Amino acid sequence: MKKIDPSLVSTIVRRAVLDCLAANRSSQMKPEEPLRIFTSPEANALKKEIVRVGRKLWERQYVDGNGGNISARISPHYVLCTPTLCSKGDLRVEDLSLVDLDNYQICGDRPQTSEILLHLEIYKAVPQAKAVIHCHPPYATAHAVAGVVPPGNLIPEQEVFVGPVALAPYETPGTHAFARTVLPYVKHHNTVLLANHGIVCWADTVTHAEWYVEVVDTYCKTILIASQLRPKLNEIPPDKIADLLVLKKSLGLPDPRLENDEAPTGEVEALTHSMAELQQKVSSGKRPGKYEIDELVSRLSAEVLAFLSGAA
Ligand SMILES: [Zn+2]
């Protein structure tokens, strides 16, 4: 059996990464005009929707103190978001800001939410995500604190609009590490429980993301009450769940049960994401740092070597 030369693998991987980034640079898009976007009629409508939804979250007690945050993608590179240190019950249109996918605040007087990294990771990983809400609804958060994923197949609304819920591991809020905890799940789940913290939902609109928050929190509450009436709950029969999945597919909602292909997980998923991030950076006219490229090449080389070793 021929020995694999790690330095040769690393050289080939580096060349592939640099070629890939160069291709992105040549297809660079025209820079957008952030201020025009931020003050456009479309942005104004989205800002009003965010303020209205913030009020609903506060009235339903899904956000406490200055907790929770809302964002909406307004163009491929820009996101409107709520400010840090602001009760969602007091939110005003003029409090919102515009950030790019690299977390640079472009417009707005108040600093962006400290949890924006979580939102941006979801936008970068899920092209169909147009709105993200993070909040602390008590019943869903109780499940996240207990480390209990709510069982499925019990109520049609949950199956159609939310589906299986994932549980992401705990990390310190506001950090890159925290933002990345959801990456293995967000492509196939629109709702993720965040261990010892709260939940995050994404959708095609801010209004719909708030609906998912309501659906999942009510679901968790109902399960809690039903389990006290009878520990073993009655499930919807499999053929009736199949009917619900047909309906879900017709609505274009993601569900891991609808996926035919094996989704990449773990390090492969993380590597795909890191590469997409670098491509995004290059296509928006920025230069990735040498450290970023070195780190990606090193991780990719390790994966290739592990694959070749297993296949040899
Ligand atoms: Zn939070």
pLDDT of residue 51: 98
Q: How far is the CA of 18 from the centre of ligand 1 (A)?
A: 37
Same domain, 238 and 99: yes
Distance CA 83, CA 96 (A): 6
Residue 54 lies in a domain: yes
Q: Are residues 74 and 173 in the same domain?
A: yes
Name the domain count of the chain: 2
Question: Residue 172 burial by CB count (10 A; 0-12/13-18/19+): exposed, middle or buried?
Answer: exposed
> Cα separation of 214 and 161, whole Å?
11
Give distance in angstroms: CA of 166 to centre of ligand 1: 17
Residue 80 CA to ligand 1 center (angstroms) comes to 18
In this structure, the answer to whether residues 184 and 82 fall within a common structural domain is: yes
| 66 CA to centre of ligand 1 in angstroms | 9
At 7 the pLDDT is 80
Residue 130 lies in a domain: yes
The answer on 149 and 88 residing in a single domain is yes
* pLDDT digit string (tens) for the chain, length 312 residues: 567 788 888 778 877 777 776 665 544 445 558 899 999 999 999 999 999 999 999 999 999 999 999 999 999 899 999 999 999 999 999 999 999 999 999 999 999 999 999 999 999 999 999 999 999 999 999 999 999 999 999 999 999 999 999 999 999 999 999 999 999 999 999 999 999 999 999 999 999 999 999 999 999 999 999 999 999 999 999 999 999 999 998 988 888 888 754 445 567 767 777 777 777 777 666 777 776 777 788 888 888 887 777 654
Q: How many residues are recorded in the chain? A: 312
Q: How far is CA 57 from the centre of its chain?
A: 19
Looking at the structure, tell me whether residues 248 and 283 fall in a common domain: no
Residue 181 maps to a domain: yes
Co-location of 201 and 108 in the same domain? yes
Structural domain boundaries, residue 182: 31-253
Give just the sign of the alpha carbon dihedral 217, 249, 183, 38. Answer: negative
User: What gap in Å lies between CA 118 and CA 198, rounded to an integer?
Assistant: 12
Give a yes or no: residue 258 inside a domain. Answer: no
pTM of the predicted model as reported, rounded to 2 decimal places: 0.76
- Give residue 180 CA to ligand 1 midpoint distance, Å: 14
Catalytic positions are: 115
Q: Which runs of consecutive H residues, i.e. helices, occur in 147-265?
A: 156-157, 176-180, 206-229, 238-250
- Within-domain flag for 171: yes
> What sign does the dihedral 279-284-289-291 (CA atoms) show?
negative
Same domain, 7 and 45: no
Give the model's pLDDT for residue 282: 74
- Distance (angstroms) between ligand 1 centre and the Cα of 173 equals 7
Are residues 125 and 3 part of one domain? no
User: Edge-to-edge strand order for the sheet containing 198-203?
Assistant: 105-107, 97-100, 78-81, 69-73, 131-135, 198-203, 191-194, 166-168
In whole angstroms, give the CA distance from residue 35 to residue 50.
Answer: 19
**Same domain, residue pair 46 and 15:** no
Q: How many CA atoms lie within 13 Å of 182's alpha carbon, on the beta-carbon side?
A: 34
Q: How far is CA 115 from the centre of its chain?
A: 12
Q: Is there a single domain that holds both residue 5 and residue 134?
A: no
Same domain, yes or no: 305 and 207: no
Co-location of 16 and 121 in the same domain: no
